[in-house]
Structure 1
Amino acid sequence: MIDAMSRGGSVEDVAIVGAGIVGLAHAWSAARRGHRVTVFERGAIASGASVRNFGMVWPIGQPPGEARAIALRSRDAWLEVASEAGVWVNRCGSIHLAHRDDEWAVLEDFAATAPELGYDCKLLTREEIARHTHAANPDGLIGGLFSLTELGVDPRSVIRTLPGWLSGRFGVRFHFGVTITDVEPGKVRGSEGRCWDAHRVVVCGGADFETLFPTLLRESGLRRCKLQMLKTVRQPAGWSLGPHLASGLTLRHYANFAAVPSIAALRNRIAEETPELDRWGIHVMASQNDAGEIIIGDSHEYDSAVEPFDKAEIDDLILRELRRVIRLPDWSIAERWHGVYAKHDAQPLFEADPLPGVHVRTGTGGAGMTMSFGLAERSWERWT
Structure 2
Amino acid sequence: MTENYDLAVVGGGILGLAHALAAARSGRRVVVFERDARANGASVRMSGLVTVAGHAAGGATRRAKRSRDVWAEVCSQAGLRIEHEGLSIVARRAEAATALEAYAATEPAPGCAFYRPDDAHALFPQFRGDIAGVFWSPDEIRVEAKSALPKIAAWLEDTHDVAFRWETAVTAIEGDVLRTSRGPVSAQAVVVCPGDDFRTLYGERLAAAGLTRAKSQMLRVRYEEGFELPGAVATDLSVPRMPGLEGLDGVEALRARLEAEQPEHIQHGVVMLASQSADGSLVVGSSRTLEATPDPFQSQAIDDLILEELAAVFGKRPKQILSRWTGTYAFSVDRPLFVEAPEDNVRVVIAGAGAGASAAFAIGEDVVADLFKAG
Normalized against structure 2, the TM-score is what?
0.93
Query: Structure 2 vs 1, CA of residues 127 and 262 (structure 1 numbering), >3 Å: closer, same or farther?
Result: closer
2:141 is matched with: 151
The one-letter code of the counterpart of 2:198 is F
Counterpart check, 1:196 vs 2:191: no
Superposition deviation, residue 319 in structure 1: 0.4
1:168 aligned residue (122, 133, 158): 158
Counterpart check, 1:48 vs 2:38: no
Aligned CA RMSD, in angstroms, stands at 1.9
**d(CA) in 1 for partners of 2:46, 2:198:** 20
Superposition deviation, residue 142 in structure 1: 2.2
The one-letter code of the counterpart of 1:355 is E
1:211 is matched with: 200
1:109 aligned residue (88, 102, 106): 102
Query: Structure 2 vs 1, CA of residues 32 and 291 (structure 1 numbering), >3 Å: closer, same or farther?
Result: farther
Q: Secondary structure at the match of 2:75?
A: helix
**d(CA) in 2 for partners of 1:305, 1:272:** 30
Query: Structure 2 vs 1, CA of residues 166 and 131 (structure 1 numbering), >3 Å: closer, same or farther?
Result: farther
**d(CA) in 1 for partners of 2:90, 2:222:** 23
Superposition deviation, residue 364 in structure 1: 3.9
**d(CA) in 2 for partners of 1:106, 1:61:** 11
Superposition deviation, residue 98 in structure 1: 1.1
Alpha-carbon contact 1:236-1:329 (below 8 Å) kept: no
Q: Secondary structure at the match of 1:150?
A: strand
Counterpart check, 1:358 vs 2:349: no
The one-letter code of the counterpart of 1:135 is Q
Superposition deviation, residue 289 in structure 1: 2.2
**d(CA) in 2 for partners of 1:127, 1:329:** 24
Q: Secondary structure at the match of 2:7?
A: strand
Alpha-carbon contact 2:45-2:326 (below 8 Å) kept: yes
**d(CA) in 1 for partners of 2:352, 2:80:** 22
> Alignment identity in percent?
35
The one-letter code of the counterpart of 1:30 is A
Q: Deviations over 1:241-267 (max 9, x none)?
A: 122111111111111112213211111
What is the 5 A alignment of 1:275-354? Answer: 275-304=263-292, 306-327=294-315, 330-354=318-342
Counterpart check, 1:377 vs 2:365: yes
Q: Secondary structure at the match of 2:221?
A: strand
**d(CA) in 2 for partners of 1:48, 1:258:** 29
Q: Deviations over 1:17-65 (max 9, x none)?
A: 1100000111111111111010110101010000111111111121111
The one-letter code of the counterpart of 2:126 is A
What is the 5 A alignment of 1:67-78? Answer: 67-78=60-71
Query: Structure 2 vs 1, CA of residues 267 and 183 (structure 1 numbering), >3 Å: closer, same or farther?
Result: same
The one-letter code of the counterpart of 1:176 is W
**d(CA) in 2 for partners of 1:305, 1:259:** 33
Superposition deviation, residue 330 in structure 1: 4.5
Counterpart check, 1:255 vs 2:255: no
Q: Deviations over 1:136-169 (max 9, x none)?
A: 12x1122111111111111111111111110110
1:6 is matched with: none
1:94 is matched with: 87
The one-letter code of the counterpart of 2:180 is G
Q: Secondary structure at the match of 1:92?
A: strand
**d(CA) in 1 for partners of 2:223, 2:173:** 44
Alpha-carbon contact 1:122-1:146 (below 8 Å) kept: yes
The one-letter code of the counterpart of 1:124 is Y
Bigger Cα displacement from structure 2, 122-131 vs 330-339:
122-131
**d(CA) in 2 for partners of 1:130, 1:261:** 24
2:258 is matched with: 270
**d(CA) in 2 for partners of 1:294, 1:133:** 17
The one-letter code of the counterpart of 1:56 is L
**d(CA) in 2 for partners of 1:172, 1:203:** 16
Aligned residues: 369
1:140 is matched with: 130
In structure 2, stretches of 5+ residues that fail to align are: none
2:30 is matched with: 37
Alpha-carbon contact 1:64-1:118 (below 8 Å) kept: no
